[in-house]
Structure 1
Amino acid sequence: MDDPMATFKDDVDAVRSAIAQETENGRDVIVITHSCGGTVGNSAVRGFSRPAGSSASGQSPMPTPTSRKRTPETGHVVGIIPIATGFCFTGLTFMDHFLNITPPSFRVNKKTGYADLTVRPQKFFYHDLPPAEADHAASMLTTQSLKALFEGREYSYSGWLDVPVWFIGTIEDQGLPILIQRAQIGMVRMLGARVVYTELKTSHSPFLSQPKQVVQIVLQAFESFTCTRADETPETLELENRPFIPQWLRHFFMSSPKTKSPTGPSSPASGPKSTPSPQTELIPIADNDDDVRDDADSTLETDADSSTASVSSSILHYRSIQGRTFHSDKFVTEYSFPNDEQQLESVDISHHYLTVLLDGQLYLAPIGDNVQKTLDIGTGSGIWAIDFADQFPQAEVTATDLSPTQPKWVPPNVRFEIDDATETWTWKDNTFDFVHMRYLFGAIQDWTALYQQAYRVCTPGGWVESVEADIHFRSDDGTAEEEEVYKLCNKLYEEGGKAIGRTFFVHDLQPKGIEEAGFVDIKTADYKIPIGDWPKDPRLAEVGRFVKLTLENDIEGILSLSFISVLYSHVVQGYTLLLWNNVLQWPKDEYQVFLIGIRKALRNRKIHGYFVVRYVYGRKPE
């Protein structure tokens, strides 16, 4: 800081010296990091955590590059509290996390050796502070040397794998968007981090805008890290340990008794109390920017006496097309979407935007509180079934899919089965009081037969709910209809569906098929799903951001590889690859051109595109 020759090692050593001053006097330490300090703070933790054989990361517990004395009275780092920052990865510099692509908020000034801000900090970091306070905070900022950002791989360290973490996310952050903060939490949990995550509706610097709330969170973290209560601790602040990534990650990674979750209101096991009304028109925000922005467990069981397929080598032998895997040839269903990790992550993000769309609800059918047995058809990653099982712990939840790609660590009331929904269902009549199916478009040849199967296994008085997307790209102002690549995408799905005999456009088939199957009290609700954050409505803008996330094919120049790459799916490629190459057999050399066009259109904020999701539910007569 304020020295163009200052290095990342200098910053890490300074923090390590401060930590050692406390630990060598027998005091435990909690490291609080913020913004660019996240990389430094995590790296400084190396060797200071309490010895426990080997760390969760398998990283060397020895402190390097500086040494420290150890005595029986030596203290330790017992936890990290990151605030609006990132998670450092061993062997990566600060800029490595951004693919060495300079973020738009600053520029490299080789003449001075500093990273110069290109934004007005009062608005970028402190927009929710009074003007005088924002000016004062901005005046306290120091310049950052380029050496500290681009060098120091040998000193970086994933300290968040050695100690528990309480992360404070900042919802209105313009410096580090909340989407990135949430996504990185999911990633580090998958890598073994023990993270309690909460959010404050604040700018990049919550300790200035909401100091009381930050202090309360810090004191709760202190209690969690040390299993003691701080003197004069204020009344506990109710926080939400927001999962974002599937619930099973929270069940697994948050199981350590040392990282207890903050107290929060329990989720009522009840049906939807209110749902957002279907939209008539999506209103875009005023946009003065350029057109395009480059922006407890259950197990898999077998039943030799039924036709339910066991998890065998034939099922696990997926087809591979240009590096993407699809379900096994064992099943006759020509499901056109991949079953690999990229696609499953997209399923999880799609689940999130649909949940946001319904204000946190998982379904629309009025199923009541006393659900006993639920069936989820085409479960994909299993996220809906897992969340439903969490909400209804008394219910037995059975979830099926063509591929055994679901997690093993799930609530005890969830069971996954490998089955083809287009074949005869093996469950007995009148078994389930709620049958749920979502996003089966492109996989079903006879929708009436599907709903007849659901009717048979549904209990009298039980409900079926079908959720499907009409993936025609539309707009209310004609901007999507004028986009040539969207026209081509619509044509791809129309002709591809005809070629495989399984349409991708089933909205008319849903209410018709459910009625023909025998269900009554049928209700239909259509929702426009924006593509991108162009809607004026904040909730719909958030939905649109996640929709765009599931569709984007490239993270170039946008996000950190380490934080986000496993969450960003090559979904456009996954959705279209099988249809383009193997079904329609269109020219392969034109496929990449098509993808480039899609990516460009997705980033064009002048295109106010959306697609429609239809919810249809009905009751089986008693």
Structure 2
Amino acid sequence: MEKKPAGGKSSCASDRAPAPVDAPGRPSVPPPADDPEMVEARTQYLALRKEIRPDSDTQQRLARARHRVYTTVLDGNLTCSKLPSRLKRVLDVGSGIGCWAVDIARRHPEAQVTCLDHHAVRLADAPANVSFLAADLNRAWPVAPNSLDLIHVRAMSDDVVSWPFVLAQALKMLRPGGQLEVAEIRPRFWDFDGLFAVTDALPEGEKMSAELSAKMGVDLDPSVNLPMWLDDAGFERAAQRSEILPVGDWSKDAKLHQRATVYREMLELSGWEGKSRQLFVSSGWDLPRYTALVNRMKESIMSGGVRVYMTAVFTTCRRPADEQ
């Protein structure tokens, strides 16, 4: 049995459950990047990811549901970071259909907000201060160095080849004192009652996902290592905030019940697959076998035997302000 992880910061004072950010026993580094099998698997995986069109009806509904989850967790705010009263230039990395970018642009009409994604999706209702840029975040960003006040990265773990590279790009593009925020929902289920470090609802699925991620060098759970990578990249004031996302209708707390409702909507729209479908298929699993695994996971979690939750982790930092 794994040791119960240390608790993280939570805004839900009435809840005693931990909000872990560490993951005991998890490998901290991927296998060598020149491993032929890993390179081939990762190539297939990223090809499947790029085939997903953010402007399809299903992806639009899922993107809006995901946006509601993050804003609900933040009590209606768009960032965990405390932002300056005036923003000039903002970059939303992996913007999808631009839900977050449009909202931040409306709240800060003085800011120029750029969406960066594989597909430049132009929303009809986007305000004039939003622009859309088609680019690969795993290559040099076509953005002026030292120009950004804020970079926002959310739910991008399945598209990042190298987090150190992405963070180095972010540091280069931020002005001194500029802020970076990375938000991710960890792909792990936890036991609210604290009997286990992770739930025993379906260890098969979590173990297989971790093994396949390591096989191809894809890190679906980067929150664990982000503070280390940020320090190596040259950022300062790195901090993490972890928030509970109940899975199932077990919470009596009004705030947690609201989170559970919006998170259930997102899970249903995604078919409970999360970020794992492309990972499993590119690793050679056939769809019926994968679907059976997902259905077993859903049935086990929703049976009510264990009060299950996941965590949304917000990692914040800034480029040093005293650079010459």
User: 1:538 aligned to 254, 261, 286, which one?
Assistant: 254
Tell me whether 531-540 or 387-396 shows the greater mean CA deviation.
Answer: 531-540
Instruction: Indicate the residue corresponding to 2:63 in structure 1.
Output: 347
C-alpha change, 1:573 and 1:359, in structure 2 (3 Å) is: closer
Structure 2 CA distance for aligned equivalents of residues 526 and 336 of structure 1: 29
The reply to whether residue 444 of structure 1 matches residue 122 of structure 2 is no
Structure 2: which amino acid aligns with 1:616?
Answer: T
Percent identity, please.
Answer: 23
Structure 2 CA distance for aligned equivalents of residues 591 and 338 of structure 1: 19
The reply to whether residue 482 of structure 1 matches residue 182 of structure 2 is no
Secondary structure of the structure 1 residue equivalent to 2:175: strand
* Structure 1 portions without partners, runs of 5+: 1-274, 284-328, 553-568
Contact 1:378 1:400 in 2 (8 A): yes
Structure 2 CA distance for aligned equivalents of residues 334 and 357 of structure 1: 30
Structure 2: which amino acid aligns with 1:582?
Answer: S
Secondary structure of the structure 1 residue equivalent to 2:61: helix
Contact 2:50 2:118 in 1 (8 A): no
Instruction: Indicate the residue corresponding to 1:463 in structure 2.
Output: 179
Secondary structure of the structure 2 residue equivalent to 1:375: strand
Instruction: Indicate the residue corresponding to 2:297 in structure 1.
Output: 598
Structure 1: which amino acid aligns with 2:205?
Answer: C
C-alpha change, 1:524 and 1:619, in structure 2 (3 Å) is: same
Secondary structure of the structure 2 residue equivalent to 1:472: coil
Contact 1:398 1:414 in 2 (8 A): yes
Contact 1:385 1:414 in 2 (8 A): yes
* Structure 2 portions without partners, runs of 5+: 1-8, 19-42
Deviations 1:516-538 (A, max 9, x none): 22222222211122112322221
The number of residue pairs the alignment matches comes to 284
C-alpha change, 1:536 and 1:406, in structure 2 (3 Å) is: farther
Contact 1:533 1:543 in 2 (8 A): no
Structure 1: which amino acid aligns with 2:317?
Answer: G
Instruction: Indicate the residue corresponding to 1:434 in structure 2.
Output: 150
Structure 2: which amino acid aligns with 1:608?
Answer: R
Instruction: Indicate the residue corresponding to 1:582 in structure 2.
Output: 282
C-alpha change, 1:336 and 1:600, in structure 2 (3 Å) is: farther
CA apart distance, 1:463: 0.7
C-alpha change, 1:592 and 1:545, in structure 2 (3 Å) is: same
The reply to whether residue 614 of structure 1 matches residue 313 of structure 2 is yes
Structure 2 CA distance for aligned equivalents of residues 276 and 475 of structure 1: 16
Structure 1 CA distance for aligned equivalents of residues 242 and 50 of structure 2: 24
Instruction: Indicate the residue corresponding to 1:125 in structure 2.
Output: none
Structure 2 CA distance for aligned equivalents of residues 278 and 441 of structure 1: 26
CA apart distance, 1:401: 1.1
User: 2:224 aligned to 483, 486, 508, which one?
Assistant: 508
Instruction: Indicate the residue corresponding to 1:497 in structure 2.
Output: 213
The reply to whether residue 281 of structure 1 matches residue 9 of structure 2 is no
CA apart distance, 1:333: 6.7
Deviations 1:8-52 (A, max 9, x none): xxxxxxxxxxxxxxxxxxxxxxxxxxxxxxxxxxxxxxxxxxxxx
C-alpha change, 1:596 and 1:573, in structure 2 (3 Å) is: same
Secondary structure of the structure 2 residue equivalent to 1:543: helix
CA apart distance, 1:377: 0.3
Structure 1 CA distance for aligned equivalents of residues 64 and 233 of structure 2: 30
Deviations 1:437-462 (A, max 9, x none): 11111222221221111111101121
Deviations 1:512-570 (A, max 9, x none): 12222222222221112211232222111111121122112xxxxxxxxxxxxxxxx24
Secondary structure of the structure 2 residue equivalent to 1:471: coil
CA apart distance, 1:363: 0.3
Structure 2: which amino acid aligns with 1:397?
Answer: V
CA apart distance, 1:408: 3.2
CA apart distance, 1:578: 2.1
Structure 2 CA distance for aligned equivalents of residues 334 and 587 of structure 1: 14
1:181-580 paired onto structure 2 within 5 Å:
277=11, 281-282=16-17, 335=49, 338-339=52-53, 340-477=56-193, 478=195, 481-484=199-202, 487-552=203-268, 569-573=269-273, 575-580=275-280
Structure 2 CA distance for aligned equivalents of residues 336 and 491 of structure 1: 25
Structure 2 CA distance for aligned equivalents of residues 374 and 403 of structure 1: 18
C-alpha change, 1:381 and 1:281, in structure 2 (3 Å) is: farther
C-alpha change, 1:602 and 1:621, in structure 2 (3 Å) is: same
Secondary structure of the structure 2 residue equivalent to 1:539: helix
Structure 2 CA distance for aligned equivalents of residues 345 and 483 of structure 1: 28
Structure 2 CA distance for aligned equivalents of residues 494 and 362 of structure 1: 30
Structure 2 CA distance for aligned equivalents of residues 371 and 417 of structure 1: 19
Secondary structure of the structure 2 residue equivalent to 1:362: coil
Structure 1 CA distance for aligned equivalents of residues 261 and 304 of structure 2: 12
Deviations 1:321-350 (A, max 9, x none): xxxxxxxx9996764894343233222112
CA apart distance, 1:434: 0.6
C-alpha change, 1:575 and 1:366, in structure 2 (3 Å) is: closer
C-alpha change, 1:572 and 1:330, in structure 2 (3 Å) is: closer
Structure 2 CA distance for aligned equivalents of residues 576 and 463 of structure 1: 30
Structure 1: which amino acid aligns with 2:125?
Answer: W
Q: State the Cα RMSD in Å.
A: 2.7
Taking CA–CA contacts closer than 8 Å with sequence separation of 6 or more, which of the two structures ends up with the larger relative contact order?
2
Structure 1 CA distance for aligned equivalents of residues 314 and 125 of structure 2: 30
C-alpha change, 1:336 and 1:532, in structure 2 (3 Å) is: farther
Tell me whether 595-604 or 435-444 shows the greater mean CA deviation.
Answer: 595-604
Secondary structure of the structure 1 residue equivalent to 2:11: coil
CA apart distance, 1:282: 3.9
Contact 2:94 2:117 in 1 (8 A): yes
Deviations 1:258-297 (A, max 9, x none): xxxxxxxxxxxxxxxxx962666349xxxxxxxxxxxxxx
Instruction: Indicate the residue corresponding to 2:3 in structure 1.
Output: none
Contact 1:376 1:435 in 2 (8 A): yes
Bigger-Rg structure (1/2): 1
Deviations 1:155-183 (A, max 9, x none): xxxxxxxxxxxxxxxxxxxxxxxxxxxxx
